[in-house]
């Protein structure tokens, strides 16, 4: 149901009385009040003027206006509606945020902002791409006195505001900016808040760099595939994390979640590789002789400790010792472990035999300081072959 004329006029009187502190509202209110005094002198506005927020007072005034017949007075209706519009506009203007300097999407070699006076916030720079530095100094924000007033105090004072909630005085907002350097010099502000909106997103790439740094400090543990397990997700997380300030809206949260998961996966895989990853122990293996091996000879192979993993996997290189022979295809390598270690595989005459393209796996006794293996070959009579360790890897199997 539409509001009655007397209800609109009563509401306008309440709104006008509440906004008498504003010059424009006061002028419109005095015009309505004069029309009522001239045409309806018996109407008393004092109760509503004393307490504009009283619903009972406004209802009583509405009833008195209805009894006086204001419903037929279109001129008074238009004046009351104008008063309500003016009052609402002035309240909205008073609630609007005041910012001394606003730069939206600047593209520049450098930005320098100095000598700013503002009754609200000081400086706002958003979505900027700056090759050099952003420098902000001499900002006076949150002050009630006009610029240039010699009576202004040397420090800022919070300005009166009709806005609800706490007011942030002296706000310098630097949101989603890419810059070589940001310098903020504050000497005339109290309760200062410097907001760099996207700085928090730098935490994620920093975490990725920490994981990468830990990997390099630990000499990139593990085999090539194991290194890829932790390096690939962390490097991808670093790249995606650095791009976060460029992503807007809901996709940013998906990217952020993917970055966090990738960092966690990389960190967990790095931790596993540090404790269980493959270790290249080829340089720690000593062979007793470089002489060729025949059916009746043997060498000793020694791996110096520490024995950080449970197994040793050895890949041998077998080659012909003489050009005029073809012994390698029919040659088997025979291994026997001493001490508590054990070579895996079927035993033939007390030793494990492996072919030239196979690897030998040794279960290590980690209580021992070294591992010693006896190497021999099963080959044709008169054959001699060269046997060397191509690669020795410590593994947890």
Tell me the domain boundaries of the chain.
5-95, 99-159+167-191, 201-276, 282-395
Tell me the CATH class for 282-395: mainly beta
- What is the pTM for the complete model shown? 0.50
The larger pLDDT score, comparing residue 15 to residue 3, is at 15
Report, as an integer, the average pLDDT of 358-363: 88
pLDDT at 161: 32
pLDDT at 152: 39
CB atoms within 10 A of CB 16: 28
**pLDDT tens-digit profile of 29-53?**
999 999 999 999 999 999 989 898 8
Q: Do 130 and 154 touch, CB atoms closer than 8 A?
A: no
Q: Find all residues with CB under 8 Å of 247, minimum gap 6, and list them.
A: 255
CA–CA distances in Å: residue 9 to residues 49, 137, 218? 14, 51, 81
pLDDT band at 151 (very low <50, low <70, confident <90, very high): very low
Q: Is the pLDDT of residue 167 over 70?
A: no
To which H or E segment does residue 259 belong? helix 250-276
The larger pLDDT score, comparing residue 138 to residue 193, is at 138
Structure tokens at 162: 């009709």
Structure tokens at 353: 């035999």
CA–CA distances in Å: residue 98 to residues 92, 146, 170? 12, 13, 11
């Amino acid at each position: 149901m539409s509001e009655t004329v007397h209800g609109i006029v009563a509401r306008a009187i309440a709104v006008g009385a509440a906004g008498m502190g504003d010059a424009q509202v006061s002028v419109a209110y005095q015009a309505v009040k004069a029309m009522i005094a001239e045409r309806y002198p018996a109407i008393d506005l004092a109760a509503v003027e004393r307490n504009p927020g009283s619903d009972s007072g406004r209802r009583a005034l509405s009833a008195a206006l209805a009894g006086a017949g204001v419903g037929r007075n279109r001129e008074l209706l238009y004046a009351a509606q104008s008063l309500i519009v003016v009052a609402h506009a002035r309240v909205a203007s008073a609630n609007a945020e005041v910012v001394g300097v606003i730069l939206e999407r600047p593209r520049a070699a450098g930005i320098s902002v100095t000598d700013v006076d503002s009754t609200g916030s000081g400086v706002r720079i958003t979505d900027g791409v700056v090759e050099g530095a952003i420098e902000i100094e001499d900002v006076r924000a949150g002050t009630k006195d006009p610029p240039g007033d010699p009576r202004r105090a040397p420090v800022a004072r919070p300005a009166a505001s009709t806005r609800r909630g706490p007011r942030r005085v002296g706000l310098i907002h630097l949101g989603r900016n890419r810059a070589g350097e940001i310098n903020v010099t504050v000497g005339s502000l109290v309760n200062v808040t410097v907001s760099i909106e996207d700085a928090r997103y730098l935490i994620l790439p920093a975490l990725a760099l920490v994981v990468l740094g830990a990997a390099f400090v630990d000499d990139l543990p593990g085999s090539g595939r194991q290194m890829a397990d932790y390096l690939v997700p962390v490097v991808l997380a670093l790249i995606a994390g650095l791009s976060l300030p460029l992503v807007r809206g809901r996709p940013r949260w998906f990217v952020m979640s993917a970055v966090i998961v990738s960092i966690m996966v990389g960190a967990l895989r790095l931790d596993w590789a540090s404790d269980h990853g493959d270790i290249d122990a080829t340089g720690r293996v000593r062979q007793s002789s470089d002489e060729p091996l025949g059916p009746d000879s043997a060498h000793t192979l020694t791996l110096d400790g520490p024995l950080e993993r449970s197994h040793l996997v050895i890949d041998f290189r077998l080659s012909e010792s003489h050009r005029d022979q073809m012994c390698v295809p029919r040659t088997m390598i025979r291994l026997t472990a001493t001490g508590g270690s054990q070579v895996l595989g079927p035993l033939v005459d007390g030793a494990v035999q492996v072919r030239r393209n196979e690897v030998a796996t040794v279960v290590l006794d980690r209580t021992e300081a070294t591992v010693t293996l006896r190497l021999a070959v099963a080959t044709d009579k008169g054959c001699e072959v060269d046997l060397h360790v191509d690669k020795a890897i410590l593994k947890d199997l």
